[in-house]
Amino acid sequence: MEQFAALLDALVYTSSRNAKLKLLADYLRRTPDPDRGWALAALTGGLDFPAVKSAAIRNLLMERVDPVLYALSRDYVGDTAETASLLWPEPADPPSPPSVAEAVDILSGMTRASVARELPALLDRLDANGRYALLKLATGAMRIGISARLAKTAFAQAFAVPLDDVEEYWHGQAAPYAPLFDWAAHGAEPPSGKDLPLFRPFMLAHPLEETAVDMADFAAEWKWDGIRVQIVRAGDETRVYSRSGDDISGAFPEIAAALAVPAVLDGELLVRGSHQGGEEGGAASFNALQQRLGRKTVSRKMLEDYPAFVRLYDLLIHADEDLRAHAWEQRRLLLEEFAAGLDPARFDLSPVIAAASLDELAAIRERARDEAIEGVMLKRRDSPYVAGRRTGLWYKWKRDPLLVDCVLMYAQRGSGKRSSFYSDYTFGCWDGDPDAGAELLPVGKAYFGFTDEELRWLDSYVRRHTVNRFGPVRETDKSLVLEVAFDSVHESRRHKSGLAMRFPRIARIRTDKPAHEADRIETLRNMVRD
Partner 1 sequence: MAAAFSWIRAEPHGIHIVPGNCWIDPARPVDTALVTHGHSDHARGGHHRTVATPATLAIMALRYETRINTVPVEYGETIALPGGVAATFVPAGHVLGSAQIVLEHAGERVVVTGDYKRRADPTCAPFQPVPCDVFVTEATFGLPVFRHPPVEEEIGRLLAARAANPDRCVLVGAYALGKAQRLIAELRLAGHAAPIYLHGALERMCRLYEELGIDLGDLRLVAGMAKGALAGQIVLAPPSALGDRWSRRLPDPITAMASGWMRIRQRARQRNVELPLIVSDHADWDELTDTIREVDPAETWITHGREEALLRWCELDQRKVRALALVGYEDEDD
Pick the closer one to partner 1 by CB: 6 or 327.
6
- 277 closest CA partner among 397, 379, 376: 376
- Do residues 225 and 284 lie in contact, with contact meaning Cβ atoms separated by under 8 Å? no
Nearer to partner 1 by Cβ, of 73 and 274: the residue is 73
Q: Assess contact for 520 and 429: CB atoms under 8 A.
A: yes
Query: Minimum distance between the CB of residue 333 and partner 1, rounded to whole angstroms?
Result: 50
At its nearest, how many Å lie between partner 1 and the CB of residue 416? 6
**Residue type, position 451, single letter:** T
Contacts 24+ apart (CB under 8 A), 290-296: 292/251, 292/252, 293/227, 293/248, 293/251, 294/251, 295/250, 295/251, 296/250, 296/251
Q: Which amino acid is at 51?
A: A
- Least distance in angstroms from the C-beta of 32 to partner 1: 23
| Position 315, amino acid | L
Q: How far is the CB of 120 from partner 1 (least distance, A)?
A: 18
Please list the alpha-helical segments (H only) found in 100-147.
100-108, 115-123, 128-139
**Distance between CA atoms of residues 527 and 429, nearest Å:** 14
Q: Can you tell me the distance from the alpha carbon of 145 to that of 14, in angstroms, rounded to the nearest whole number? A: 10
In the complex, minimum distance from the CB of residue 65 to partner 1, in angstroms, rounded to a whole number: 7
Nearer to partner 1, 9 or 164 (CB): 9
Beta bridge partners of 398: 375
**How far is the C-alpha of 433 from the C-alpha of 61, rounded, in Å?**
50
At its nearest, how many Å lie between partner 1 and the CB of residue 266? Answer: 36
Cβ proximity to partner 1: between 79 and 374 the closer is 79
Cα distance between residue 397 and residue 207, in whole Å? 6
Q: Which is nearer to partner 1, 274 or 419 (CB)?
A: 419
In whole angstroms, the minimum distance from the beta carbon of 128 to partner 1 comes to 8
Q: How far is the CB of 23 from partner 1 (least distance, A)?
A: 11
Q: For the CB of residue 399, give the shortest distance to partner 1 in the complex, in Å.
A: 35
Beta bridge partners of 267: 229, 312
Residue closer to partner 1 by CB (options 83, 426) is 83
Q: Which is nearer to partner 1, 102 or 124 (CB)?
A: 124
Q: Which of 175, 130, 158 is nearest to 30 (CA)?
A: 158
Shortest approach of partner 1 to residue 355 CB, angstroms? 45
Looking at the Cβ atoms of 127 and 431, the one nearer to partner 1 is 127
DSSP per position, 431-458: SS-GGGT--EEEEEEE--SS-HHHHHHH
Cβ proximity to partner 1, 420 vs 511, nearer residue: 420
76 vs 295 by CB, closer to partner 1: 76
**What is the CA angle 82-84-87, rounded to 5?**
110
Residues in touch with partner 1 (CB under 8 A): 9, 12-15, 65-66, 68-69, 72-73, 76-79, 82-83, 86-87, 132, 416-420
* Cβ-based nearer residue to partner 1, 39 or 144: 144
Alpha-carbon distance values, 476 to 407, 408, 410 (Å): 10, 7, 6
The minimum distance between CB 69 and partner 1, in angstroms, equals: 5
Measured CA to CA, the distance from residue 210 to residue 226 in angstroms comes to: 26
**What sign has the CA pseudo-torsion 218, 377, 307, 275?**
negative
Residues 516 and 405: their CA atoms lie apart, in Å, by 10
CA 234 vs CA 231, 266, 342: distances in Å:
10, 15, 16
